[in-house]
Amino acid sequence: MRDANPSPDRVHFEPGNACALPFSDSSFDLVLSSLVLMFVPDGALAAREMARVAKPGGMVAAATCDLRGGVIAARMLHDTMVALGMPGARFMSGPGVRPGELAALWRGAGLRDVRETEITIRMHFANFADYWEPTIHGPILPGLLRGLSSKWYERLRSAQERAFLLGEPDGPRSFAATAWAAAGLR
């Protein structure tokens, strides 16, 4: 990440635990979490940590995927897993994935002037492989697939391909993806 940073003198990327940020109180003018909080076990604690490291008057902002229905590709995968009765198929919950939840986390962290909106984009796929390969290497599926038999994997892949194709030839598809975004001041 550091090599790709066009402004290393102004912007720094550091890995860390969102629930125990390794920074002093009031360290930053802007604290941002982009498409991460929905995977954090304790969203309220992560929001408090983000607020803690923001300077007074500093902005704290985040975006989370609307996994409950706003990310069609993820919802299609989840519904296929549930229909197959796959173990561990329930991954649609997490901090900030429903309307109003992200703003509530911000208010609970003591932020003021909280604003929330939604952002919708299109996700374009050239074909099923273009959809499937990033999915099996993304943030959700590898953990669910770990330990499953090759038979389960093939059942899921085959069912997911049928859901993607909907009886049509393989080729380009485009799905909507919505994220919730919130910002507030410390």
| Whether pLDDT at 163 is above 50 | yes
* Structure-model confidence comparison of residues 39 and 63, the more confident one: 63
| Whether pLDDT at 174 is above 80 | yes
Range of the domain at 26: 2-185
Which CATH number goes with the domain that contains 66? 3.40.50.150
pTM over 0.75? The answer is: yes
pLDDT of amino acid 28: 95
- pLDDT for 119-144, tens place per residue? 999 999 999 999 998 888 876 677 77
Task: Name the residue among 139, 61, 57 with its Cα closest to residue 105.
Answer: 61
Distance CA 38, CA 70 (A): 13
- pLDDT for 42-53, tens place per residue? 999 999 999 999
- pLDDT for 51-95, tens place per residue? 999 999 999 999 998 877 778 887 888 888 888 887 655 556 778
